[in-house]
Amino acid sequence: MDTTALETATQPERLRRVVIEPLSRVEGHGKVTLLMDEDDHVQQARLHIVEFRAFEKFIQGRPYWEVPVMVQRLCGICPVSHHLAACKALDQVVGATELTPTAEKIRRLMHYGQILQSHALHFFHLSSPDLLFGFDSEVGRRNIVGVAAAYPDVAKQGVLLRKYGQEVIRHTAGKRIHGTGSVPGGVNKNLAADERAALLADIYQIVAWSRDAVRMVRQLFEQNLELYRSFATFPAHTLSLVRADGALDLYHGGLRARDADGRTIFDHVDYDHYWERISEDVKAWSYMKFPFFKELGPEQGWYRVGPLTRVVRCDFIPTPLADRERREFLAFDDGRAAASTLGFHWARMIEMLHSAEAIKDLLHDDDLLGTDLMAGGKRQARGVGVIEAPRGTLIHHYRVDENDQVVRANLIVSTTHNNQAMNLAIREVARRYLDGRKLTEGLLNHIEVAVRAFDPCLSCATHAMGKMPLSVQLLDAAGEQVDQLVRG
Partner 1 sequence: MRRDRRRDDVTEVTRRKLRVATTSLAGCFGCHMSLLDIDERLFALLERIEFDRSPLTDIKRCGPCDLGIVEGGICNAENVHVLREFRANCKILVAIGACAVTGGLPAQRNHLDLGQCLQEVYLTEPSVSKGLIPNDPELPLPLDKVHPLHEIVKVDYFIPGCPPSGDAIWKFLTDLIDGRTPKLGYGLIHYD
Task: Report in angstroms the alpha-carbon separations of 266 from 31, 54, 270, 456.
Answer: 34, 32, 11, 25
Q: Are 73 and 335 in contact (CB under 8 A)?
A: no
CB nearer to partner 1: pick between 93 and 464: 464
Q: Are 373 and 102 in contact (CB under 8 A)?
A: yes
CB nearer to partner 1: pick between 143 and 230: 143
First-residue to last-residue Cα distance in the chain: 34
Instruction: Count how many Cα atoms sit within 13 Å of the Cα of residue 469 in the half-sphere of its side chain.
Output: 26
What are the residues whose beta carbons fall under 8 Å from the beta carbon of 120, sequence distance 6 or more?
158, 161, 162, 165, 213, 352
Name which position in 67, 85, 155, 220 contacts partner 1 (CB under 8 A).
Answer: 155
How far apart are the C-alpha atoms of 329 and 470, rounded to whole Å?
41
Regarding 380 and contact with partner 1 (CB under 8 A), the answer is no
CB nearer to partner 1: pick between 94 and 389: 389
CB nearer to partner 1: pick between 204 and 285: 285
**x/- map, 391-430, partner 1, by CB under 8 A:** ----------------------------------------
DSSP character for 307? H
β partners of residue 269: 255
Name which position in 46, 111, 313, 345 contacts partner 1 (CB under 8 A).
Answer: 46
Number of residues forming the site for partner 1 (CB under 8 A): 70
Kindly indicate which of the ranges 255-263, 355-363, 419-427, 457-465 contains the residues binding partner 1, using the contact rule CB under 8 A. 457-465
CB nearer to partner 1: pick between 113 and 469: 469
**In angstroms, what is the minimal distance from the CB of 166 to partner 1?**
6
CB nearer to partner 1: pick between 142 and 171: 142
Q: Are 290 and 298 in contact (CB under 8 A)?
A: yes
Regarding 324 and contact with partner 1 (CB under 8 A), the answer is no
Regarding 296 and contact with partner 1 (CB under 8 A), the answer is no
Q: Are 362 and 199 in contact (CB under 8 A)?
A: no
**In angstroms, what is the minimal distance from the CB of 63 to partner 1?**
14
**In angstroms, what is the minimal distance from the CB of 28 to partner 1?**
7
CB nearer to partner 1: pick between 51 and 328: 51
Q: Are 63 and 405 in contact (CB under 8 A)?
A: yes
β partners of residue 385: 396
Strands 16-20, 481-487: pairing kind: unpaired
Regarding 15 and contact with partner 1 (CB under 8 A), the answer is no
Amino acid at 407: V
Regarding 273 and contact with partner 1 (CB under 8 A), the answer is no
Instruction: Count how many Cα atoms sit within 13 Å of the Cα of residue 29 in the half-sphere of its side chain.
Output: 11
**In angstroms, what is the minimal distance from the CB of 121 to partner 1?**
7
Regarding 285 and contact with partner 1 (CB under 8 A), the answer is yes
Cα 1 to its chain centre, rounded Å, is: 24
Regarding 453 and contact with partner 1 (CB under 8 A), the answer is no
**In angstroms, what is the minimal distance from the CB of 309 to partner 1?**
23
Regarding 51 and contact with partner 1 (CB under 8 A), the answer is yes
Regarding 70 and contact with partner 1 (CB under 8 A), the answer is yes
Regarding 177 and contact with partner 1 (CB under 8 A), the answer is yes
Q: Are 399 and 381 in contact (CB under 8 A)?
A: yes
Cβ neighbours, 10 Å, residue 134? 15
Regarding 280 and contact with partner 1 (CB under 8 A), the answer is yes
Name which position in 7, 41, 65, 163 contacts partner 1 (CB under 8 A).
Answer: 163
Name which position in 6, 9, 15, 25 contacts partner 1 (CB under 8 A).
Answer: 25
CB nearer to partner 1: pick between 9 and 314: 9
SS3 116: helix
Torsion of CA 202, 204, 208, 214, to 10 degrees: 90
How far apart are the C-alpha atoms of 401 and 406, rounded to whole Å?
6
CB burial of residue 379 (10 Å; 0-12, 13-18, 19+): exposed
The residues that touch partner 1, with contacts defined as CB under 8 A, are 20-22, 24-29, 31, 33, 46, 48, 50-54, 57-58, 70, 73-77, 79, 121, 125-126, 139-140, 142-145, 148, 155-156, 159-160, 162-163, 166, 175-178, 275, 279-287, 289, 298, 445, 448, 459, 464-470
